[in-house]
Structure 1
Amino acid sequence: MDSLPLNAAVAAALEPFGLQPRGWLVPDGSSAPRLKNGTVSEAICLVGHGGGGFWPVFRTWHEMHPGITDPLDAWSKAIIEPVAALLGGEAVFPSDRPWHPFQQWAMAAEGLQPSPLGLLIHPEYGLWHGYRGAILFDDAGGLAGEGVTAKSAIKAAVIHPCDTCTGRPCLSACPVEAFSPAGFAVSSCRDHLKSDMGQQGCMKSGCLARDACPVGRTYRYGVEQIRFHMAAYS
């Protein structure tokens, strides 16, 4: 693995767990996060998934670790932290302080933009993707090939799917109109999920607004994974 470029080595180490590098950044000095030893990071690798390929691995782990609070976060750390250590990096996570700007990192690294639902939409995966953590490296010298960008770069080649969407069905699919140009009405959504209609609808089959998006349908999560995420949200 030492003979591989750093980005290829990270991809190889994550692949058995259904995870993948979701983008690389070489941040400028003023915005670069620091490692625990105070060193400024020279490269950031976002770690995540497109679709639910990681789910069977997580499910097996979860069955072996019952009763854990926030099991998906715990699993992500159990996987990503050893990979980071193996390759000389340091793992950080969206759930941990100090808060890191994961959404801004993702927008810069992959050229993504928010959908009307607030979730970042990917031109291939649609809304069926996620970021489980990131790995910080203090040396960007081992990177090679395409896919590495400066934090300030704009990937003009990435088309925002919502710009060409007719009718934006995601905004009309919610039974309680929780999504609007004014923002997301969290309380309306959660109240609906507690109702009989919500329990039989979104809680069983997933958010109707999210499911109405036509992009990335082949990457839609399975029922078990959808219900897991809905239970964690509600």
Structure 2
Amino acid sequence: MQHHILAASRPWYEGMSERLYKTTGDIFHSVTTPDELSAMDIEAVQPRYIFVPHWSWRLPESIWNHYETIIFHMTDLPFGRGGSPLQNLIARGFTETKITALRCGAELDAGPIYEKVPLSLLGSAEEIFLRAAAQIEIMILSILQNTSEPVPQQGKPVFFARRTPKDGNIADLTTLAAVYDHIRMLDAEGYPPAFLHAGPLHLAFKRAVLRHGRVEADVTITLAEEDSNA
């Protein structure tokens, strides 16, 4: 029996540690915040792997330099290094991508690669993240069973900039397809939704559908000054 750490900050990874334990017999110590990770006595745990499916913070060198730390990135690396991969891909018109499992190192998203699997980008962001979580669980099992070394990335890197809440404004979009994509790519728990201003009002959109020459979506209307992301 081995010990591992599973660092995942989003709700779609709840229960993964327990499922992996039932499948492998290994112990997976789950953490969801940097404070939880800092409070853990990692030296006492002595993890064989630290798996990082979805994490919004940089991991300290004291962790990845001493323990084999594997992150999962939603692009076909070295294409798409950097932040907000799902949103950047959809904004560029991609309908599919790959999840890359790579070793964490000093340079962002530049480590050697264990494996890649395909992923559809259809549906809302939450639906995509749920599909990704299911694939990542399978990838973790594959990595545990396959002890081969990761291989260096090949090709010229393409970098993505991390998106901010202000990038959710749909005011400058000119096609219904672009509006639909913008709403769905931000439609997940914990993500600021796509929005539009109408005078003093802030309109936030979720659950978009594109059909019959129109976009239908749920809208929440607040006063713009009440929304710090406006």
Higher RCO (C-alpha under 8 Å, 6+ residues apart): 1
Shared fold per TM-score greater than 0.5:
no
TM-score by structure 1 length? 0.30
TM-score by structure 2 length? 0.31
Higher-helix-fraction structure = 1
